Amino acid sequence: MNKYITLLFCLLLAFGSCRKTATNPEVLPNTYSDQALGKSANDLLSGSKYTSLNVQVQYMPGYSLDTGTISALSAYLNMLCNKPGGISITQAQIAGNGGDSLTVDQVAVLEVKNRTAYTSGTTLDVYILVTDGYDTAGTVLGFAYRNTSIALMGKAIFDHSGGFGEIGRAALESSVLEHEFGHLLGLVNLGTPMQVFHQDTAHGNHCNNANCLMHYSIETNGAFNIFHPATIPVLDSNCRNDLHANGGK
């Protein structure tokens, strides 16, 4: 494995990222945005139905996304998604949660309360919530939980990045966020069909290539003491081929 990717993977021994399912009875006012994870993979990737993509980021006080994370996400989406009308990312602060830990259902309720941008016309909207706490399990940095919804555990990310001997915050945020966006795009075998079999079935909807952004170890392996800046892992050729075949670039 590339040594820089190894360094990033080594950060995530106790913390990781994953996909979850919201089961709370509250639903979003926009029915399109209240579907299962992976259902919008083709809509996100292709330009046949939705020609523009808007990403609404809402963060709790003190936990805005790093400008480097915004730039990296924009480049990532423009590389993968056919959106001739453009891709925009907006970021705004919302009220905090008091630093409390959150379940996926509690995150989903916060989305219902705060989200204002929804898919309509030819513009598809994705929602990202950056919280001021930890996941209740204490082991998750972020998760995708609806067809257009992602949550990042802002405090967990801040607490373990950017300090002496730690990975840079933008690199950690970007890696987790791009991994979770990969699940929205249907990876691996989650709404985007595989062109060749490369799913690590022992670890859910992840790639079996240890060098790939969608490998499970982005979620599970590592230790926090890193003394070299890490780079963001990238999608391997199998994941890229899957996305291309499902309408992506």
Domain extents in the chain:
3-245
CA-nearest of 166, 172, 155, 182 to 18 is 182
Domain 3-245: CATH superfamily, name plus number: Collagenase (Catalytic Domain) (3.40.390.10)
CA distance 129 to 142: 10
Q: How far apart are CA 22 and CA 146, in angstroms?
A: 7
* Displacement of CA 152 from its chain's centroid (Å): 8
The DSSP output letter for 32 is G
Question: How many percent of the chain have pLDDT more than 90?
Answer: 63
- Strands, sheet with 149-153, edge to edge from the N-terminal-most edge strand: 16-19, 140-146, 149-153, 123-131, 52-59, 86-93
Q: What pTM does this model have?
A: 0.89
Cα–Cα dist 215/207, whole Å: 5
Q: Is the pLDDT of residue 62 over 80?
A: yes
188 dihedral zone (left: phi>0; alpha: psi -120 to 50; beta): beta
How far apart are alpha carbons 63 and 55 in whole angstroms?
17
Of residues 101 and 77, which shows the higher confidence score?
77
What pLDDT shows up at residue 122? 98
* Peptide bond before residue 140 is cis, with ω within 30 degrees of 0: no
User: pLDDT tens for residues 157-201?
Assistant: 898 887 776 778 898 899 889 999 999 999 999 999 999 999 999
